Amino acid sequence: MARVKLAYIGGGSTRAPGTVASFIRQSANFAGSEIVLVDLDEERLGLVRRLAERMIEAQGADLRVTATTDRARALPDCDGVLSSFRPGGFEARALDERLPLARGAIGQETQGAGGLFMALRALHVTRGLVEDMARLCPGATLFNYTNPVNIVAQGVADHSEVPVISLCEGPIVFPLELARMAGLDPRRVEATMVGLNHACWSVEARYDGEALLPRLERALEGVTDPWSRRLLHLAVTVGSIPASYMRYYFYEEDMLRELRARPTTRAQDILAEVPDYWAHYREQVDSENPTLDPARSRGGLFELELAVDVMDALFNDRGEVWPCNVVNRGAIQDFPDGQVVEVPCLVDRRGARPLSGFRVPAPVRGLLHALGEYQGLAADAGWCGSRRDALRALVSNPLVRTLPLAEALYDDLARAHRAYLPERLW
């Protein structure tokens, strides 16, 4: 089994203990490996390191965990770098959600104006990270979980030589969620989804080996939950299972009305839970048998498990197929070869190579083309562009559309996030 050195950027976050649990569960595949936790918050980083050591010891895993606040000390000799960080924390995400809503636009972590500013903040940090990787661990692969994963990967792919694989569980979980909405057993679903991150659609979906869509259509009449009905109706109408994020585009007015009616945003809800996450982690450090409670751990028990699966397939040359965000190279006929797409990939020691022969459903092709153009503009602006470049990206976004709205949103968000943006984007 592969013995590797991995740096985990964001290793002092609320989701880090669950990520370590994922590594422990697959520790036999990484026997003798070192995981270096990297974070800016020294106190929380130390807590995660101590908890990780206690969990590893309790379960007899052959793993070593170290920690540092200095990225340059972590990277030398690394075989891979796992990136999962949030510049500005959930407080910044709350601004991404609230400020657009105040102007009558969708406010969301990865979509619309909020999604652009998450991308701009993330790319500012990611550029420095990959420059350090090229200097200190040339040849290492970046396994990216930092949102928006497609825009981050596009920036890295277009502007550096560092191999990048961006990851999201969406293509795995979206069909299962829709099956649950229809009252079906998700364990009997098999589906393949392609497109862009948070904008993927099924090209094949089966239930017990038979077509899934007719079953969804038959189940629709008995579904009473409004949002379940909307998503099922969308799937049946298009003839393809959508990413759940498609609700922001195909039910924009309904979604906007609902978001504005809520007393808090999703980020504010998470912030209310964060103190209990850390209290739970502190309790487990002192426990004889440290065990994470899924209800008190950010994201559940096994976080970023897809990243661990993909690392295992790559470093151990398994030749497995996993959904990844990689450069298209002809895999999906509807996108340029250089576009980062979400697609099934064959993962082995040569990297993640996209399977080919796919097309996205015709009814949504135009929307995905627009989102793809926005993705490229946002990636360039965040990596090396100006305020005007970023504004061009924003006005191209299908959830913004008008120049006056784009300018107002940009002013609001750039002012709010000034501390986390390079001066060229102010």
Which CATH number does the domain housing residue 21 bear? 3.40.50.720
10 Å Cβ neighbour count for 187?
Answer: 7
Strands (E), 60-99: 63-68, 80-83
pLDDT band at 21 (very low <50, low <70, confident <90, very high): very high
Residue 38 lies in a domain: yes
Q: Is the pLDDT of residue 108 over 80?
A: yes
Tell me the per-residue pLDDT of 136-190, one tens digit each, with 9 for 90 and over. 999 999 999 999 999 999 999 999 999 999 999 999 999 999 999 999 999 999 9
Do 163 and 327 meet the contact criterion of CB atoms below 8 Å apart? Answer: no
Q: Is the pLDDT of residue 20 over 80?
A: yes
In the chain, % of residues over pLDDT 70: 99
The residue-averaged pLDDT of 247-269 equals 98
Supply the range of the domain harboring residue 287: 5-102+112-167+273-312
- Give the count of domains, the chain: 1
Q: Is the pLDDT of residue 238 over 90?
A: yes
pTM of the model: 0.97
pLDDT band at 298 (very low <50, low <70, confident <90, very high): confident
Do 185 and 179 meet the contact criterion of CB atoms below 8 Å apart? Answer: yes
Task: Specify binding-site residues for substrate.
Answer: 93, 147
Q: Is the pLDDT of residue 128 over 90?
A: yes
Task: Specify binding-site residues for Mn(2+).
Answer: 168, 198
Is 245 one of the annotated active-site residues of the chain? yes
Residue 299 lies in a domain: yes
Residue 262 lies in a domain: no
Task: Specify binding-site residues.
Answer: 93, 147, 168, 198
Three-state DSSP string of 182-205: CCCCHHHEEEEEEEECCEEEEEEE
Q: Which residues pair with 66 in a beta bridge?
A: 36
Q: Which of 8, 145, 207, 245 is catalytic?
A: 245
Residue 265 lies in a domain: no
Residue 182 lies in a domain: no
Residue 218 lies in a domain: no
List CB contacts of 86: < 8 A, sequence separation 6 or more: 10, 13, 92, 93, 146, 147
The residue-averaged pLDDT of 259-281 equals 97
Residue 138 lies in a domain: yes
Measured CA to CA, the distance from residue 139 to residue 133 in angstroms comes to 8
Q: Is the pLDDT of residue 300 over 70?
A: no
Do 243 and 200 meet the contact criterion of CB atoms below 8 Å apart? Answer: yes
Residue 246 lies in a domain: no
Q: What is the pLDDT of residue 1?
A: 80
